[in-house]
A and B are shown apart, each in its own frame.
Chain A
């Protein structure tokens, strides 16, 4: 930034430089674009799902600079310089993340529209502190809505992931 202020006109575009799933990207989007729409439309990362688009359902949860955030409540412009991780970045070399494996083993999801948001929430939670009690897991997952499962299988899956991660460390 040469000037002390980046100033963009109404209807204009803005170029965002950030890291997405380990890869540096530079993408030009209209100023009003949400981070979720930048990921989905501009980068084709449609694994991030949009439910309510006002922060209630949690389906669009991703990890920005290590913390779970609602990608529908963040402008692409705010992500300048950020390190972004989405559901597409969880598996490494085709091997699932322990949270993905645990969810699969415990039939965590049915229709799975909410799945990416739940798994990114769970991954952020366990990276912050892997030793989570069931009560803590339920509280942290409280910001994500699932209309199919009744949540029990999701909680079972995260508890299994906790056990796996504990065994691995």
Chain B
């Protein structure tokens, strides 16, 4: 299918883009277009104006602060994320999630920040944001706004962004000492949307978990954390009975959708399996790093 008609603008300044977004109702930001254009080709969306931000300077930068926080600009592609030594070192879960996204040709055009703004419930990056307490930096003609990930993903393909706002960058805070994590998912074909996936982030001090984040994707209308299971992991070694109880809490809390790819019961089962796998992987890595 082909996209419905729309107007197209290619501003060369950020102010020019923000002006267009503020004055045109029903406009959409176009970066890589790897989520937006399929939506339009399938006629699931018909914005009246596309604001192509690809020619705006400075949005393609990856910036590392002195404290190790990493800020990824709106035009940084998934392929650039995969190839960045800075991201691999300072935001390892972002680096680990990137190769799971789509296929090479999709990652060459699609952007990390665009995937976050699109907020597909089965996408990896929103869950990475939730697990790492990332900060969304949006901008509009009214100025900048920072939104914590926990308040950003408000519903199916819906975020706290206003129509006139552009998600200019996403900032991943520095990892505390003892931080470890893993990204695990089950999909029918590598690169396809996951039937269920988990971004697990732990802080482990002398074998004891002192902080835990379990951010699931593909199991609800948005990526979501499971605080009930996280609380059961904190204070434990993340193995044996403690892990069993966390798995039970995951299965009791999540209520995944049923569709042609998998039933509710199957996805719930996968979520439990991924909890076991993700926590074990994260702990194994923290032991390796100490050794």
Does B38 sit within 8 A of A, measured CB to CB? yes
A121 contacts which of B1, B3, B9, B104 (Cβ < 8 Å)?
A: B104
Does A68 sit within 8 A of B, measured CB to CB? yes
Q: Nearest chain B CB to A129's CB is how many angstroms away?
A: 12
Contact check, B37 vs A74: say whether CB atoms are below 8 A apart.
yes
By CB atoms of chain B within 10 A, which of A61, A67, A121 has the most? Answer: A67
A143 contacts which of B7, B52, B102 (Cβ < 8 Å)?
A: B102
A residues contacting the other copy or chain, number (CB 8 A)? 40
Residues from chain B with a CB closer than 8 A to the CB of A32 are 2-6
Contact check, A68 vs B108: say whether CB atoms are below 8 A apart.
yes
Closest residue of B by beta carbon distance from A125: B104
Residues from chain A with a CB closer than 8 A to the CB of B227 are none
Between A and B, 28 residue pairs with Cβ closer than 8 Å are A5-B20, A6-B10, A7-B7, A11-B5, A31-B7, A32-B4, A32-B6, A34-B2, A54-B38, A54-B42, A55-B102, A61-B105, A67-B79, A67-B109, A68-B105, A69-B108, A70-B106, A73-B33, A73-B109, A74-B33, A74-B109, A75-B30, A75-B33, A78-B33, A80-B10, A142-B103, A142-B191, A143-B105
Q: State whether A14 and B16 are in contact (beta carbons under 8 Å apart), knowing that A61-B105, A70-B109, A143-B104 are contacts in the complex.
A: no
Contact check, A78 vs B12: say whether CB atoms are below 8 A apart.
no
B7 contacts which of A9, A70, A140 (Cβ < 8 Å)?
A: A9
Q: In the assembly, what is the distance between CA of A65 and CA of B191, in Å?
A: 23
Q: State whether A69 and B105 are in contact (beta carbons under 8 Å apart), knowing that A4-B16, A5-B20, A139-B190 are contacts in the complex.
A: yes
Q: State whether A68 and B8 are in contact (beta carbons under 8 Å apart), knowing that A54-B38, A74-B37 are contacts in the complex.
A: no
- A15-47 vs B, CB cutoff 8 Å, 1 = contact: the mask equals 000000000000000111010010000000000
Closest residue of A by beta carbon distance from B51: A5
Residues from chain B with a CB closer than 8 A to the CB of A37 are 2
Does A53 sit within 8 A of B, measured CB to CB? yes
CB proximity to B under 8 Å, residues A116-146: 121, 124-125, 139-140, 142-144
Q: State whether A8 and B9 are in contact (beta carbons under 8 Å apart), knowing that A70-B109, A143-B104 are contacts in the complex.
A: yes
Closest residue of B by beta carbon distance from A14: B8
Does A102 sit within 8 A of B, measured CB to CB? no
Interface size bracket, B side:
35 or more
Closest residue of A by beta carbon distance from B77: A67
Does B154 sit within 8 A of A, measured CB to CB? no
By CB atoms of chain A within 10 A, which of B1, B8, B52 has the most? Answer: B8
Q: In the assembly, what is the distance between CA of A75 and CA of B189, in Å?
A: 27
Does A10 sit within 8 A of B, measured CB to CB? yes
Residues from chain A with a CB closer than 8 A to the CB of B41 are 34, 53-54, 72-73
Q: In the assembly, what is the distance between CA of A140 and CA of B104, in Å?
A: 6
Does A1 sit within 8 A of B, measured CB to CB? yes
CB proximity to A under 8 Å, residues B106-155: 106, 108-109
Does A77 sit within 8 A of B, measured CB to CB? yes
Q: In the assembly, what is the distance between CA of A125 and CA of B105, in Å?
A: 10
Does A108 sit within 8 A of B, measured CB to CB? no
Q: In the assembly, what is the distance between CA of A11 and CA of B263, in Å?
A: 43
Residues from chain B with a CB closer than 8 A to the CB of A53 are 1-2, 41
Closest residue of A by beta carbon distance from B52: A78
Does A58 sit within 8 A of B, measured CB to CB? yes
Q: In the assembly, what is the distance between CA of A131 and CA of B287, in Å?
A: 33
Does B13 sit within 8 A of A, measured CB to CB? yes
A77 contacts which of B10, B42, B102 (Cβ < 8 Å)?
A: B10
Contact check, B7 vs A8: say whether CB atoms are below 8 A apart.
yes
By CB atoms of chain A within 10 A, which of B50, B102, B104 has the most? Answer: B104
CB proximity to A under 8 Å, residues B73-87: 79
Q: Nearest chain A CB to B165's CB is how many angstroms away?
A: 19
Q: Nearest chain B CB to A85's CB is how many angstroms away?
A: 13
Residues from chain A with a CB closer than 8 A to the CB of B108 are 67-69
